[in-house]
Structure 1
Amino acid sequence: MSSPDFSPGRRALLRASIASASAGLALGLGGCTAPSRRSEAPADSATARNAATYHTLDADTRALWRALLPAIGRGQPELTAQEAAFVQGIDGALRRFSLHNQAQLNDLFGLLTLAPSRLLLTGHWKDWPSFSPDDTHGVLERWRTSSLGLLNQAYAGLTRLGAATLYSLPALQARTGYPGPPKRALESLPQFHREATA
Structure 2
Amino acid sequence: MSNPLARAKYLLAAHNPRQLPPDGGFEVAFAGRSNAGKSTALNAICNQNALARVSKTPGRTQQLVFFDIPPTTDRYLVDLPGYGYAKVPKDLQAHWQAFIQQYFETRQALRGLVVVMDIRHPLKDYDLQMLGYAVRRGLPAHALLTKADKLSRNQQMQSLAAVRKELSSQFADSVSLQVFSGESKLGVDDARAVIGGWLEM
For the aligned pair, the TM-score class normalised by the smaller chain equals under 0.3
More helix by share: 1
Flag the structure with higher strand content. Answer: 2
Query: What TM-score comes out, normalization by structure 1 length?
Result: 0.27
